[in-house]
Amino acid sequence: MPTYETVEYERDGATAHVRLDRPDALNALNEQLLSEFVDALAHDEADDEVRVAVVAGYGDAFSSGYDIGEDEPERSVDEAMLDQRTHLEAVFSARIPVIAAVDGPALAGGCNLALACDLTFATERSEFGYPDMHFGEPPPKFVLPFVTNSLKQARELLYNGKSISAEEAHRMGLVNRVVPDGDLGAAVDEEVDHILKTPGSAVALVKDMVNDVQETQGYRRYGRIDEYLGTLTMESAAATRFRDIRDEEGLSAALEWVHGTDKD
């Protein structure tokens, strides 16, 4: 069984549990966590007895998004564009279904991770959204338009950077099911039991077929383009100002400026 510093991996029969384990940082996605997450999913792929992977977060959040309180290694824009994150592709291309068990905020990159999973279950206290749009950074992979019921709903969430409740996310098609706080584990276990009654080969085949539908709609193509754009937008005036305030006055002041100031 693999062991990690920022991810906990556990297998329960045919189910692999991958838990984001940075609760003090609201499970913010830093480079180490993303690397360990991809490795954990690769371990699932290599284990023929694993039929389902469940992704959850420890503490008060599923994930608050990419770790904006942590400076990334010094590198050029060209280097950053060539070193794109692969965790969402690992979810998409996994032979097994990946279920997001969301309990608490799933925001920015955390929202993308929750929505990229094959199924998404959430507690009533959970919320979803892209507040990072306030400093001019589109999601580094365009997942939202492929899971909402309408492009207008995707536009709404991306234009204004607001967060929505789990019930609203369910209405928009982002979430499969919303359950009372405290009932998430039982609801996910029940869903896994149903999946296990279907032959694994059939599930893998159907996942490939559904993925093909997303591919014909441009899922991977737009994802690659948006990752490049995301790298470039981090050099924008708003993103640069955010980092300056963060370094001089702290993260709280930077977030206050981001969410309280009109941008050009």
pLDDT at 262: 76
Q: What is the pLDDT of residues 28-77, one digit of tens each?
A: 999 899 999 999 999 988 888 999 999 999 999 999 988 876 555 555 54
Q: What is the DSSP letter of 248?
A: H
What H or E segment, with its residue span, contains residue 8? strand 7-12
Residue type, 44: D
Q: What is the pLDDT of residues 184-242, one digit of tens each?
A: 999 999 999 999 999 999 999 999 999 999 888 877 766 555 555 555 555 667 667 76
3-state SS, one letter per residue, for 175-213 = CCEEECCCCHHHHHHHHHHHHHCCCHHHHHHHHHHHHHH
**What residues form DSSP beta bridges with 16?**
11, 53
Q: What is the pLDDT of residues 145-162, one digit of tens each?
A: 899 999 999 999 999 888
pLDDT at 185: 96
Angstrom CA distances, 206 to 199, 202, 203, stand at 11, 6, 5
Class of domain 7-181+202-232 (CATH, top level): alpha beta
26: left (phi over 0), alpha (psi -120 to 50) or beta: left
